[in-house]
Amino acid sequence: MDYVTPASSSPPFTKRPKILLVEDDAFVMEVTQVLLRKHFEVVSAASVTEATYQITAQHFDVLLTF
């Protein structure tokens, strides 16, 4: 596979992927956020209603729910 070298010296992926985490258990949500925030931008929602609002307000790369 051929890779294109970017014209600038910046890394090709400077923006972290954005995850919408939907979880109604506060403890599970907090632990998951702590683990994911090292590598991803995490937005959380505690209900389907809140998640629906977040989805209509911004773009997410991944939707994660338990």
- Map out the domains of the chain with their CATH numbers: 18-65 (3.40.50.2300)
Does 38 or 13 have the greater pLDDT score? 38
Q: What pTM, to 2 d.p., does this model score?
A: 0.76
The burial of 18, by beta-carbon neighbours within 10 Å (0-12 exposed, 13-18 middle, 19 or more buried), is given as: middle
The C-alpha atoms of residue 43 and residue 31 are separated, in whole angstroms, by 13
Q: What does the mean pLDDT of the chain come to?
A: 87
According to the 3-state scheme, what is the secondary structure of the chain? CCCCCCCCCCCCCCCCCEEEEECCCHHHHHHHHHHHCCCCEEEEECCHHHHHHHHHHCCCCEEEEC
Residue 41 has a pLDDT of 97
Confidence of residue 5 (pLDDT cuts 50, 70, 90): very low
Average pLDDT over residues 22-45: 97
Does 13 or 60 have the greater pLDDT score? 60
Does 38 or 6 have the greater pLDDT score? 38
